[in-house]
A and B are shown apart, each in its own frame.
Chain A
């Protein structure tokens, strides 16, 4: 049983050390985002303790673990959404292409353009489908009609929504779509800002099984061009879509920490830690 404290080495099992070969697709790719000894505090309370992990370019990393293990909080450190929570503070380094994004001089606006986010509950704006997708580019001063048209179409196509909405782009409100379509619209909205990394916080948990599968297929396609980090409660989902899985749980003081990370196939069949095995096989969590 591992009981980490902040003084210990991070609880990370490098794939190179413990696992077999890294998933072929992501092997050899550079590290896109990484955290180094990241702890996240709400006031005095530690929500996430000392997490170090690497996410390779054009791969999907799934963060799994029981409720309260700090997965979502941890996810939000990549695009500094924790800045919005009064009293929240992040210690350690969060790197995007090697650059520490927790630095005060880093432009949060620019960071969030490069690191997009899809939320748990589909949250389109009460605007037309077109304006939803054009929202990010417009805020960046992109106003050329033809370029916007093109960007909206490309983004909707990549999000596998174009064919369903192309005839009423400007007439139909994003809120008039079904839940699954709304979530794909939110993905298109993120794609339109031309991000490099996409964070997904339980993107399918509010959707029916068919819509969930569509989102999962979409993720596999997006993986060709983007680096994706997804938080999910659904272990089948993690097993289906991700290349690497990181398992979080919480310590006795309720602080979340990383138990182990490794290729998804290995985590789900031969995890190194007893805790992981117990969680995977449903003995706790």
Chain B
């Protein structure tokens, strides 16, 4: 933010005055707005900074290599790798389903749909689902996937429930990102004899990637942080030893299988914090929270980087 922008003051009824030192209301309002907006921006940074700082301090001395990869045990610090793995696993599974669907939905809403009662209904549904409390989405997942379909508590049930929860947001954000691509570039492509789909594929989507990445980051953040949806779908447990060499995805003992209970970091933190009885509960919670935050930051930076790479790839050959 810079303050280089200074609007001219109102002309004062034909009277010519000095150009210096005049403090008209509009200039004061301009200054006030600048200060307010700067302040708000700083406040957001401050909040983020203090959260990170708090957990960095709390986790100091707790987080170690052993804390992550050590043997899971109720009576010692650490061994949260299986939990961490579950968070990443469910994140990837959810994103694999909801990102393509969300982007395709966004393309439909922004490029193909004609404004009418149906699109209005879709938007209303998007907003409604987004504002349903996540615990209710979790209950719905419990009834549908866990009970009715007899999948039991499993990663796939969690990922699908999260998709229900996330798809409206992803669709809406994709639609907005695609709509923001200027008409100029679309016209240029169409005027060169490109078809509508070619224009979408080669011009609109590549130009919308920064916005699409924002959508991915926001929805991914909800997956990392979501506990309520997963309590009833992917299950609550303690770290169990995983054999990563077991690649048989149909075997519930394999960490690669979507049909196994999978406690994520956020659920684990909730569980320990509310009912943990071990002597190290406080430390494990703090350490886990610190790791969760680091994961989110790493993911966000990674997604931005990947987005930039993707833009370059898509706009080249």
**Residues on the A chain within 8 Å of B25, using CB:** none
Q: Is the CB of A117 within 8 A of B191?
A: yes
- The CA-CA distance from A239 to B63 in the complex, in Å, is 78
Interface residues of B in 171-186 (CB under 8 A from A): 184-185
Contact between A131 and B315 (Cβ–Cβ < 8 Å)?
yes
Complex Cα–Cα for A84 and B188 (A)? 12
Is there a chain B Cβ closer than 8 Å to A81's Cβ?
yes
* Total count of chain A residues near the partner, CB < 8 A: 27
- Map CB proximity to A onto B189-200 as digits: 1 under 8 Å, 0 otherwise: 111111100100
CB-based contact A126/B190 at 8 Å: no
Residue of A nearest to B314 (CB): A127
B-chain residues with CB within 8 Å of residue A109 when the two chains form the complex: 193-195
Q: How far is the CA of A121 from the CA of B185 in the complex (A)?
A: 10
Q: Is the CB of B190 within 8 A of A112?
A: yes
From DSSP, what is the main secondary structure of chain B's interface residues? helix
How many interface residues does B have (CB within 8 Å)?
Answer: 19
- Interface residues in B222-247 by Cβ distance below 8 A to A read none
Does B203 sit at the interface, judged by CB under 8 A? yes
Kindly list chain A residues whose C-beta atoms are within 8 Å of the C-beta of B191.
79, 81, 112, 116-117, 119, 190
Contact of A112 among B185, B192, B202, B207 (CB under 8 A): B192
Chain A residue with the shortest CB-CB distance to B317 = A131
B132 at the interface (CB under 8 A from A): no
- Select one of A110, A121, A126, A136 contacting B192, CB under 8 A: A136
A223 contacts the other chain (CB 8 A): no
CB neighbours of A110 from chain B (8 A): 193
B259-315: which have CB < 8 Å to A? Answer: 315
Chain A residues whose C-beta falls within 8 Å of the C-beta of B184 in the assembled complex = 119, 121, 123
Q: Do the beta carbons of B316 and A135 come within 8 Å of each other? A: no
CB of B316 within 8 A of CB of A136, answer no
For residues 87 through 105 of chain B, which have their beta carbon under 8 Å from a beta carbon of chain A?
A: none
- Name B's A-contacting residues (CB within 8 A): 184-185, 187-195, 198, 202-203, 206-207, 315-317
Question: Could you show 12 A-B contacts with beta carbons less than 8 Å apart?
Answer: A117-B191, A123-B185, A125-B185, A125-B189, A126-B207, A126-B315, A128-B316, A135-B202, A139-B193, A139-B202, A189-B192, A190-B191
